[in-house]
């Protein structure tokens, strides 16, 4: 299995240096971020990934750093159930490098890629939830349309949903190529992106509950990281980035409206402050080397207070009930 090339890693290290103490790497993948944290001063890395296949990359880091790295096969949305994390009050940093890895995209049997034919699966871990095929074959037309529109930001969502429902009446849609063909008949070709990109993203987000998991992880991270500690997030599409940006605004006392999801965080007593005013994007040399870096954005926050009034109940994002 070829290892994933980490995105924005140098920028991340630069922004969070000096690196000390214990870090939680919520998205271990091929271990690029975990290794770099240890190389640059972290005394311990607690690494999480919901995909058990990522464990193959653990061995070489353990050979070098022994038990300074620990691995947990779980979702980062459930960090609060991990005693090794919750029992500590000295977490210096938490990093999330979101989305799929190239191990997911390169392996047709995982069903993530419209470029390689495989079963429509798209589950990142061995979670019980629905597969992509179950969503495509069982969700109502209205749900499919909402899902493709909100999670894929695809303007032709209604037409695609309608065509999926027409096609599945004839025959179940079970492979990535079958789904991609249906979409390509509706969405015009574009020299930059395959017509299926947005719909595949939408279904993947639904299969893996990605937006909810991200919002849960951010709320936990803000409570858990020590004062002076760091939260860093690398996002790969605008829905993720908006969640992180809104969260950062709220916790730094800059959110404009207050509602039940956004308790008052005074700008005089912010809980977090942004380290970089604008998100970091990949430089040209990284873009040349690594296509995945195209849409990546890095936001870093420092925790500056433990003010109890900061507690955030929820983060708003579009949620589509699958109804299956």
Give contact residues for ligand SAM (rule: CB under 6 A). Answer: 4, 6, 27, 29-33, 48-51, 54, 75-77, 97, 99, 101, 124, 213
Dihedral sign for Cα 177, 183, 187, 193, please.
negative
As given in the structure block, the two tokens for residue 222 are: 């803000």
Distance from chain centroid for Cα 110:
17
**Shortest separation between residue 195's beta carbon and ligand SAM, angstroms:** 24
Q: Which is nearer to ligand SAM, 163 or 242 (CB)?
A: 242
As given in the structure block, the two tokens for residue 68 are: 């300074």
**Shortest separation between residue 26's beta carbon and ligand SAM, angstroms:** 6
Instruction: Give the Cα separation of 274 and 151 in Å (integer).
Output: 26
**Shortest separation between residue 85's beta carbon and ligand SAM, angstroms:** 13
Strand order in the sheet with 44-48: 69-72, 44-48, 22-25, 91-97, 230-235, 297-303, 272-274
Q: Which is nearer to ligand SAM, 101 or 271 (CB)?
A: 101
Q: Which is nearer to ligand SAM, 76 or 200 (CB)?
A: 76
Instruction: Give the Cα separation of 151 and 139 in Å (integer).
Output: 15
**Shortest separation between residue 59's beta carbon and ligand SAM, angstroms:** 14
**Shortest separation between residue 161's beta carbon and ligand SAM, angstroms:** 25
Q: Which is nearer to ligand SAM, 112 or 156 (CB)?
A: 112
Instruction: Give the Cα separation of 203 and 145 in Å (integer).
Output: 11
Q: Quickly tell me which residue has 């990281």 as its tokens.
A: 225
Q: Which is nearer to ligand SAM, 125 or 253 (CB)?
A: 125
**Shortest separation between residue 205's beta carbon and ligand SAM, angstroms:** 11
**Shortest separation between residue 101's beta carbon and ligand SAM, angstroms:** 4
Q: Which is nearer to ligand SAM, 238 or 259 (CB)?
A: 238
**Shortest separation between residue 13's beta carbon and ligand SAM, angstroms:** 12
Nearest residue to 197 (alpha-carbon basis) of 295, 96, 124: 295
| 207: helix, strand or coil | helix
As given in the structure block, the two tokens for residue 280 are: 């970091």
Q: Which is nearer to ligand SAM, 48 or 239 (CB)?
A: 48
| 96: helix, strand or coil | strand
Dihedral sign for Cα 262, 254, 95, 7, please.
positive
* Nearest 10 degrees: Cα torsion 193, 198, 204, 205: 130
Name, in order, each residue with C-beta under 8 angstroms of 163's C-beta and a sequence gap of 6 or more: 182, 185, 186
Q: Which is nearer to ligand SAM, 142 or 283 (CB)?
A: 283
Distance from chain centroid for Cα 111:
18
């Amino acid at each position: 299995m070829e290892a994933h090339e980490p995105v924005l890693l140098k920028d991340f290290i630069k922004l969070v240096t000096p690196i000390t103490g214990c870090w939680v790497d919520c998205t271990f993948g091929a271990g690029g971020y975990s290794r770099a944290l240890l190389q640059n001063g972290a005394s311990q890395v607690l690494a999480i990934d919901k995909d058990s296949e990522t464990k193959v990359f653990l061995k070489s880091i353990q050979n070098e750093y022994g038990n300074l790295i620990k691995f947990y096969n779980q979702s980062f949305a459930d960090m609060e159930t991990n005693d090794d994390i919750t029992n500590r009050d000295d977490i210096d940093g938490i990093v999330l490098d979101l989305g799929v890895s190239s191990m997911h995209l390169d392996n047709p049997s995982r069903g993530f890629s419209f470029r390689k034919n495989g079963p429509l699966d798209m589950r990142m871990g061995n979670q019980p939830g629905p597969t992509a095929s179950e969503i495509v074959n069982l969700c109502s037309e209205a749900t499919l349309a909402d899902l493709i529109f909100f999670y894929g930001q695809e303007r032709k969502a209604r037409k695609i949903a309608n065509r999926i429902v027409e096609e599945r009446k004839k025959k179940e849609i079970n492979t990535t190529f079958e789904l991609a063909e249906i979409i390509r008949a509706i969405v015009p070709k574009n020299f930059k992106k395959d017509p299926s990109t947005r719909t595949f993203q939408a279904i993947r987000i639904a299969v893996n509950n990605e937006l909810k998991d991200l919002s849960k992880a951010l709320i936990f991270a803000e409570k858990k990281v020590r004062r002076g500690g760091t939260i860093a997030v690398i996002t790969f599409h605008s829905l993720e980035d908006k969640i992180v940006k809104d969260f950062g605004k709220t916790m730094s006392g800059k959110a404009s409206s207050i509602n039940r999801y956004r308790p008052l965080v005074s700008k005089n007593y912010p809980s977090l402050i942004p380290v970089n005013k604008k998100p970091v994007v990949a430089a040209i040399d990284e873009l040349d080397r690594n296509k995945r870096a195209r849409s990546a954005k890095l936001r870093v926050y420092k925790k500056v207070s433990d003010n109890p009034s900061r507690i955030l109940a929820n983060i708003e994002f579009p949620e589509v009930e699958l109804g299956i």
